[in-house]
């Protein structure tokens, strides 16, 4: 059986039956969370650039841009909405052989659902398909060390979710996946060295291309096959052979972010917060024990010790620890030029030593361990954290999610409305969610 056939069979099973209450609640929380973090990035420079470059837009199927009444072709809406969702690096995470953000699948699915006037129950199931596919790919093999970015997997999972949402038959479903993957292989250079604006937009482009592919497949466009097993297919060119396990549930192991940082830095924030409350005297040295994956992604590059952009800073463990020790828990404003050039932060980054711990390597990805030791003129303060808030071992409640929403939106009534619609989305159309947020002043 081909990989595409396996994904199709799995999707048919999900779309043909109901989700259990736990799955529904988890998906609803992630829908609300994705809207909250998108709101926080509504005026970000890359989002403004996307709007300026791509609007006005009109297609066969059109969806609303988040926080406005403006409509655009579904693929363009998916790109702009997806850029908002991803920009703050504050949406949910899944850690395995590959680390990625499963809720990157939500903007293209919601955009397509809004444009096609699809009911919320079908959207929940389609999101479940996308989550399971992307997390199963992350479990199967890492493509990071081969030079490919993890958003390549989102091109596959979002195409599967969209094909499920739109009710494509087997042949069209397979074509949607093939078209979504073939021209959507993303290079890891996006996350190497000094990071650009594209770091927060590349996965939105994957979603846009998947919408584009699904619409073409829906009207009969065929795609190259077998896309995974073929002579020049995904196995040969990108990943190597792997087995895809779609049976074990992955959704409950996805984690809502408690801070706007690359997820491998989450425990580092919690540890630094604890140390900041207890530290006295002048800081002389900072010793950090971490694990190999975190070191390779958010420590090893020299740019991580002198970040010049927001995109590099929120992927810099030295910067994140230094900021937290100096000013407390990071917020979306923590990566402004004011802080990027802050002498106190820069000085502390220069005092840091990082060590890869064999013990911590053995605990990852089931745990997210870090230990920080701060040596001062008045003594030593240390802290070890293995499970940050929002981790699947300490998951977010609706109350936690509301607190996060209020921090980002600063309008409790709007937060309550978004949560209310998200909690009852299976009884509504997806367009009702867009109705709630369309009157928000995006410039505010």
CATH class of 3-258+403-437: mainly alpha
What is the pLDDT at residue 443?
57
Report DSSP letters for 383-431, one per residue: EEESS-TTSTTSPPPHHHHHHHHHHHH--HHHHHHHHHHHHTGGGSBTH
Q: What are the tens digits of pLDDT across the range 333-375? A: 999 999 999 999 999 999 999 999 999 999 999 999 999 999 9
Report DSSP letters for 149-160, one per residue: -THHHHHHHHHH
If one counts every other C-beta atom within 10 angstroms of the C-beta of residue 264, the result is 26
Pairing of strands 352-356, 71-73: unpaired
Taking alpha carbons only, the member of 312, 427, 324, 433 closest to residue 370 is 324
- Contact between residue 298 and residue 309 where contact means Cβ atoms under 8 Å apart: no
Q: What are the tens digits of pLDDT across the range 200-238? A: 999 999 999 999 999 999 999 999 999 999 999 999 999
Pairing of strands 71-73, 370-376: unpaired
Q: What are the tens digits of pLDDT across the range 20-49? A: 889 999 999 999 999 999 999 999 999 999
* pLDDT interval class at 241 (50, 70, 90): very high
What is the pLDDT at residue 442?
55
Give dist(CA 242, CA 257) in Å, integer. 29
What's the topology of domain 263-385?
Answer: 60s Ribosomal Protein L30; Chain: A; (3.30.1330)
The pTM is what? Answer: 0.94
How do the domains of the chain map onto residue ranges? 3-258+403-437, 263-385
């Amino acid at each position: 059986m081909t990989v595409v056939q396996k994904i199709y069979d799995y999707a048919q099973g999900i779309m043909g039956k109901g989700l259990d209450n736990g799955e529904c609640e988890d998906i609803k929380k992630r829908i609300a969370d994705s809207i909250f973090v998108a709101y926080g990035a509504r005026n970000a420079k890359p989002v403004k650039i996307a709007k300026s470059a791509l609007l006005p837009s009109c297609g066969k199927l059109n969806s609303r841009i988040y926080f406005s009444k403006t409509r655009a072709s579904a693929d363009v809406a998916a790109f702009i909405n997806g850029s908002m969702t991803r920009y703050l690096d504050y949406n949910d995470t899944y850690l395995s052989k590959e680390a990625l953000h499963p809720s990157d699948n939500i903007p293209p699915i919601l955009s397509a659902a809004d444009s096609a006037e699809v009911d919320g129950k079908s959207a929940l199931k389609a999101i479940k398909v996308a989550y399971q596919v992307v997390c199963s790919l992350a479990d199967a093999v890492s493509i990071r060390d081969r030079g490919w970015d993890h958003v390549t997997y989102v091109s596959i999972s979002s195409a599967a979710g969209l094909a499920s949402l739109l009710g494509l038959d087997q042949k069209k479903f397979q074509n949607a996946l093939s078209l979504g993957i073939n021209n959507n292989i993303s290079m890891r250079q996006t996350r190497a060295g000094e990071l650009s604006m594209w770091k927060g937009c590349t996965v939105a482009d994957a979603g846009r291309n998947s919408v584009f592919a699904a619409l073409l497949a829906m009207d009969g466009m065929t795609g190259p096959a077998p896309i995974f097993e073929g002579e020049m297919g995904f196995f040969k060119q990108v990943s190597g052979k792997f087995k895809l396990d779609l049976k074990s549930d992955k959704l409950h192991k996805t984690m809502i972010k408690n801070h706007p940082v690359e997820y491998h830095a989450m425990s580092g924030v919690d540890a630094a917060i604890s140390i900041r409350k207890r530290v006295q005297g002048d800081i002389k040295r900072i010793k950090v024990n971490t694990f190999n994956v975190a070191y390779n992604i958010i420590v090893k590059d020299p740019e991580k010790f002198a970040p010049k952009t927001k995109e590099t800073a929120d992927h810099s463990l030295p910067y994140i620890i230094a900021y937290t020790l100096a000013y407390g828990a990071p917020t979306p404003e923590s990566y402004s030029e004011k802080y990027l050039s802050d002498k106190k932060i820069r000085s502390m980054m220069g005092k840091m030593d990082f060590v890869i711990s064999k013990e911590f390597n053995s605990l990852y990805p089931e745990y997210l361990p870090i230990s920080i030791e701060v040596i001062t003129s008045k003594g030593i303060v240390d802290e070890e954290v293995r499970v940050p808030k929002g981790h699947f071992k300490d998951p977010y409640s609706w109350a936690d999610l509301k607190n996060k929403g209020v921090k980002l939106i600063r309008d409790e009534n709007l937060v309550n409305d978004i949560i209310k619609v998200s909690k009852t989305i299976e009884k509504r159309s997806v367009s009702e969610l867009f109705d709630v947020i369309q009157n928000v002043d995006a410039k505010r």
